[in-house]
Amino acid sequence: MTDRILQFLRDRREAGRDTGPCLVVDLDVVRENYRAFAKALPDTRVFYAVKANPAPEVLGLLARLGSCFDAASVVEIEQVLATGASPERISFGNTIKKERDIARAYALGVRLFAVDCEAEVEKIARAAPGSRVFCRILCDGSGAEWPLSRKFGCAAELAPRVLEHAHRLGLVAHGLSFHVGSQQPNPRMWDGALKAASAVFRDLSERGINLQMVNLGGGFPTKYTKDVPAVKTYGQTIFRALRKHFGNRIPETIIEPGRGMVGNAGIIEAEVILVSKKSDEDKMRWVYLDIGKFNGLAETTDEMIRYPIRTAFDGDRTEPCVLAGPTCDSVDVLYEKSPYPLPVSLEIGAKVLIEGTGAYTTTYSAVGFNGFPPLETHVI
Ligand SMILES: *Cc1c(COP(=O)(O)O)cnc(C)c1O
């Protein structure tokens, strides 16, 4: 919560512009986060994961600070290039790409691509000849609050074959990547992935292919309702794991923070539309907000991300309530399995502040479901 954001919201209210929910992002916080990453992992290059928040002001600031970028589509690549950053600072990190999009990225100057199978390597060899590729491996992401399942990456045993195939087709077998799950509260989860990575490095070096780089992915948490370790602790723990598995031949490393870079820089102001009960016997209040799963809070799916919520009535007695969004879809309930404690004095029309919403909110907001507009955003 920053004074600049609170002041902005006060001005917006006084001007009568507070007609719908809005996200306010404070660039000062993004700048502090970038510096904290750079300090905690001094030999590691930062590739900001654009999908977390692609606001032009956020990308522009990070470009000026010297960040590189992890992009997942041609549009994200173009958003980065629009800041003036050169294409050498972009990694096309999605393992699932159309060949024509690879060709377009190549034409725009991008030369670094993610793969996780031989078929993807072949597309890159045809559409982006001579480029550098890194192979994403599966790893244990347990403990992550927003886990990434098995959709991306191959078993580490397969990686040497994938990268050897790349090498044979004239690509540069550059390295490996993994992602330990988003909002990963345990810095020791990088250890197992780095162990697997070091085995692939050894295997390939025996075949005459010397990998250069390990992409440590994202996963760095932001603070929601629970405390999380500082980024410094992640840096130290990851560095120890690198030493342990690579000895004095530590490869080049990169990180791809998304949530950890912008999560705590944003606050959503929303409004209570309705407070009601389902029956006389039912003690549980239902609180309906003008924001829900379809206009910004998609990460409440399965109640995985639990946002801190502030109200003007904080300090009053609280009672748990079911918190729901405004649309006519019954999936649009934010917290019900674990009801959310809110002040009993909370009334219809009251404003609530939803903290830690700088990442994965605007990009997850539907275009017009039930006529609700995409999430209004201000970057200050
Ligand atoms: C989404 C994504 C990230 C960012 O993850 P966070 O947990 O938000 O830091 C990093 N790398 C890749 C490949 C991603 O898809």
- Predicted local confidence at residue 86, as pLDDT: 98
Residue 315's pLDDT band, with cuts at 50, 70 and 90, is very high
Render pLDDT for 261-278 as a digit per residue (tens, 0 to 9): 999 999 999 999 999 999
Q: Which atom of ligand 1 is nearest to the CA of 52?
A: 8
Across residues 172-191, what is the average pLDDT? 97
Residue 169, judged by CB atoms within 10 A of its CB (0-12, 13-18, 19+), counts as: middle
Instruction: Please check the confidence at residue 288 and state whether its pLDDT lies above 80.
Output: yes
Q: Ligand 1 centroid to 195 CA: how many Å? A: 20
69 lines ligand 1 (CB under 6 A): no
pLDDT averaged over the chain?
Answer: 97
51 lines ligand 1 (CB under 6 A): yes
Q: Which atom of ligand 1 is nearest to the CA of 260?
A: 9
Give the CATH class of 27-262. alpha beta
Q: Which helix (H) or strand (E) is 25 found in, with range?
A: strand 22-25
Q: Give the active site residues.
A: 328
Q: Ligand 1 centroid to 57 CA: how many Å? A: 20
- Predicted local confidence at residue 268, as pLDDT: 98
- Predicted local confidence at residue 78, as pLDDT: 98
Instruction: Please check the confidence at residue 149 and state whether its pLDDT lies above 80.
Output: no
- Predicted local confidence at residue 233, as pLDDT: 98
Q: Which atom of ligand 1 is nearest to the CA of 144?
A: 7
| Amino acid type, 51 | K
Instruction: Please check the confidence at residue 1 and state whether its pLDDT lies above 90.
Output: no
Q: Which atom of ligand 1 is nearest to the CA of 360?
A: 8
| Amino acid type, 6 | L
Whether the pTM exceeds 0.85: the reply is yes
Q: Ligand 1 centroid to 258 CA: how many Å? A: 6
Residue 33's pLDDT band, with cuts at 50, 70 and 90, is very high
CATH superfamily for 3-23+264-379 is: Lyase, Ornithine Decarboxylase; Chain A, domain 1 (2.40.37.10)
- Predicted local confidence at residue 147, as pLDDT: 83
- Predicted local confidence at residue 148, as pLDDT: 81
Residue 256's pLDDT band, with cuts at 50, 70 and 90, is very high
Q: How many CB atoms lie within 10 A of CB 355?
A: 20
Here the contacts of 241-245 (C-beta below 8 Å, separation 24 or greater) are 241/188, 241/190, 241/191, 241/194, 241/195, 242/194, 242/214, 244/191, 244/194, 245/191, 245/194, 245/195, 245/197, 245/198
Render pLDDT for 201-237 as a digit per residue (tens, 0 to 9): 999 999 999 999 999 999 999 999 999 999 999 999 9
Instruction: Please check the confidence at residue 150 and state whether its pLDDT lies above 90.
Output: no
Residue 69's pLDDT band, with cuts at 50, 70 and 90, is very high
Cα–Cα dist 268/375, whole Å: 9
Closest residue by Cα to atom 1, ligand 1, is 49
Instruction: Please check the confidence at residue 20 and state whether its pLDDT lies above 80.
Output: yes
Contacts of 255 (CB under 8 A, 6+ apart): 37, 41, 44, 45, 46, 47, 215, 216, 217, 218, 220
Going from N- to C-terminal start, the domains of the chain cover: 3-23+264-379, 27-262
Of 45, 48, 182, 222, best ligand 1 pocket probe by most atoms within 8 Å of the beta carbon: 182
- Predicted local confidence at residue 40, as pLDDT: 98
> Pick from 180, 167, 147, 174: which is nearest to 207 by CA?
167
| Amino acid type, 316 | D
Across residues 182-199, what is the average pLDDT? 97
Q: How many CB atoms lie within 10 A of CB 127?
A: 20
Q: Which helix (H) or strand (E) is 46 found in, with range?
A: strand 44-49
Cα–Cα dist 255/44, whole Å: 7
Contacts of 324 (CB under 8 A, 6+ apart): 286, 287, 288, 289, 292, 332, 333, 334, 336
Count each helix (H run) and each strand (E run) in the chain, helices first. 10, 16
> Pick from 255, 216, 226, 261: which is nearest to 360 by CA?
261
Query: Greatest CA span in the chain, whole angstroms?
Result: 74
220 lines ligand 1 (CB under 6 A): yes
- Predicted local confidence at residue 146, as pLDDT: 87
Instruction: Please check the confidence at residue 300 and state whether its pLDDT lies above 90.
Output: yes
Q: Ligand 1 centroid to 162 CA: how many Å? A: 22
- Predicted local confidence at residue 334, as pLDDT: 98
Instruction: Please check the confidence at residue 129 and state whether its pLDDT lies above 80.
Output: yes
Of 138, 190, 256, best ligand 1 pocket probe by most atoms within 8 Å of the beta carbon: 256
> Pick from 362, 185, 205, 138: which is nearest to 268 by CA?
362
258 lines ligand 1 (CB under 6 A): yes
Residue 79's pLDDT band, with cuts at 50, 70 and 90, is very high
